[in-house]
A and B are shown apart, each in its own frame.
Chain A
Amino acid sequence: AQSVAQPEDQVNVAEGNPLTVKCTYSVSGNPYLFWYVQYPNRGLQFLLKYITGDNLVKGSYGFEAEFNKSQTSFHLKKPSALVSDSALYFCAVRATGAGSYQLTFGKGTKLSVIP
């Protein structure tokens, strides 16, 4: 069975500082990895994905994530946090094999950027 762990329920960071939201995964074979963000009373918005190729993936709003196969991690990063980045962030994984339709999400990490 595939799974995602987001070890921090909440991350606090000062505006202008770099931020990291951690994610580790477990899946049979190679993974497809995704990050989504959820604002209050809104659906999830796609940020970025890793499918294959370069381990550093760049996405929307200045976010990036690094795929590390040996550590089975896919941490989300941003060089300089904005107050508007405050939201709930979800990491998700899907296996790459035939019939691999299920996207499995972590429990989410609440990011608070302090002015």
Chain B
Amino acid sequence: ETGVTQSPTHLIKTRGQQVTLRCSSQSGHNTVSWYQQALGQGPQFIFQYYREEENGRGNFPPRFSGLQFPNYSSELNVNALELDDSALYLCASSLGTVSYEQYFGPGTRLTVT
């Protein structure tokens, strides 16, 4: 059974640029959630995708957007990068949307300069 994978591992971008982060969900999982983890903080929910549709969204602006593909892999896109977007971005997959535990990938470390 393949776990959750994310790419790239690290990324450095300049303020104002756009970035795309990728996530492959664990085999058989149809739900993907994205989180932002700032240094010294717990993960903050960005949004969740269930069967290719956004299923819910946290308190993040519209410049954070996503996609889920038929194979349940997912992308997180961030436009007009700001310095405060520097964080570890975590992807998590699960068998369902509510009571099921989520399985996390290793994360993508984004640095905005």
Binding site for B on A (CB under 8 A): 4, 32, 34, 36, 41-46, 49, 51, 90, 92, 94, 96, 99-108
Contacts and interface: CB of A to CB of B under 8 A. Distances in A.
Contacts, number: 58
A104 B55 CA distance: 16
Interface of B: 4, 33, 35, 40-45, 48, 55-56, 58, 90, 92, 97-99, 101-107
Contacts of B40: 107
A99 B50 CA distance: 12
A101 B51 CA distance: 14
Given A43-B104, A105-B44, A108-B42, 19 more contacts: A32-B98, A34-B101, A36-B104, A42-B106, A43-B4, A43-B106, A45-B104, A49-B99, A49-B101, A51-B99, A96-B98, A96-B99, A101-B56, A101-B98, A102-B56, A103-B45, A107-B41, A107-B42, A108-B41
A86 B110 CA distance: 26
A103 B4 CA distance: 18
A34 to B, nearest CB: 6
14 contacts: A4-B42, A34-B101, A41-B106, A42-B106, A49-B99, A51-B99, A96-B98, A101-B33, A101-B56, A102-B48, A102-B56, A103-B33, A105-B35, A108-B42
A43 B23 CA distance: 13
A41 B20 CA distance: 21
Given A94-B98, A102-B58, A44 B45 contact: no
